[in-house]
Amino acid sequence: MKNSEINPARLTTALQKLNDLRPLVHCITNPISINDCANALLALGASPIMAEHPRECSEITARSSALLCNLGNITDVRMESMMLSALEALRLTIPVTVDAVGCAVSGLRLDFARKLIFEAKPAIIKGNMSEIAALCGVGADAKGIDVGEGDEQRPITRAALSFAAEYAALHRCTVLISGKTDVVTDGVNMYGIENGCPQMARVTGTGCMQGALTAAFSAVTDSVWAAVCAASALGICGERSAGARGVGSFRTSLIDELSLVTAREIEAMARISYIK
């Protein structure tokens, strides 16, 4: 996707395809956000399956249109299942999204994420600024599974984020950095998505939901646009929920908005820019 191709109308096309095809998205994710991820997928038009048993995961992946591997709340069982499913997806050319949750604060997760990426060659790698920096080996300032203050303040410029572009080019994938401004790069081009609101950071699972929606869009469009679509759609629905009374109401409203927002509304509200 080139700079000249930043066309919000592509959001409408992708969302319409998502609703028409209702792709089955296999999510191997954590129990903290599993319900929210499933509901977000259903609300926006995809069909989720959240299977993680090693004896069935490859078979389920083979029947799916996309795979999400989320490293949150990691266990031996989920690590085994993610590797089995991701390798099956690679064999069948099913797009894989790896959400590298917590890899900036855990050697176990970082080592596993690097092994999974090397062996399974995912289409999309997602994480916050600290997680992507850790994967790239440039040093990270994480606060638990959240982005650290130092990383959060990193300038959103091509020069400042060259490590992410180089990593995307090296692994021939798309990198999605979640944050106040979401950044998407394929190693050649870099895009910023400025939709969202502060309340999203106060609700557990919004990052995981973004990963799940990214996987869903990867079933109906290319990996760069899948990441842009997911970041835009979730951010816009966050903005539409910003008037909620508190974080509990906001969480409910976010799912409501994902089910109610129209493709034309997403197209009109999307704030996508090319990062030079």
Q: ∠ CA 140-145-151 to the nearest 5 degrees?
A: 30
> Percent of the chain beyond pLDDT 70?
93
Tokens, residue 275 = 């990062």
Residues 255 and 248: their CA atoms lie apart, in Å, by 11
Query: Binning pLDDT at 50, 70 and 90, where does residue 155 land?
Result: confident
Position 209 pLDDT exceeds 70: yes
**CATH number, position 147:** 3.40.1190.20
What local confidence, expressed as pLDDT, does residue 117 receive?
98
CB atoms within 10 A of CB 236: 25
* Number of structural domains in the chain: 1
pLDDT at 1 (0 to 100): 46
- Supply 124's token pair: 């999309």
CB 251 within 8 A of CB 43: no
- The mean pLDDT of 1-10, rounded to a whole number, is 66
State the Cα–Cα distance between residues 59 and 45, nearest whole angstrom: 23
Higher pLDDT, 234 or 150: 234
pLDDT at 76 over 80: yes
Instruction: Judge whether residue 4 has pLDDT over 80.
Output: no
pLDDT 10s digits, 92-129: 999 999 999 999 999 999 999 999 999 999 999 999 99
Per-residue pLDDT at 62? 98
Structural domain for 172, as ranges = 3-274
Label each residue of the chain as H, E or C: CCHHHCCCHHHHHHHHHHHHHCCEEEEECCCCCHHHHHHHHHHHCCEEECCCCCCCHHHHHHCCCEEEEECCCCCHHHHHHHHHHHHHHHHHCCCEEEECCCCCCCHHHHHHHHHHHHHHCCCEEEEEHHHHHHHHCCCCCCECCECCHHHHCCCCCCCCCHHHHHHHHHHCCEEEEECCCEEEECCCCEEEECCCCHHHHHCCCHHHHHHHHHHHHHCCCCHHHHHHHHHHHHHHHHHHCCCCCCHHHHHHHHHHHHHHCCHHHHHHHCCEEECC
pLDDT digit string (tens) for 42-54? 999 999 999 999 9
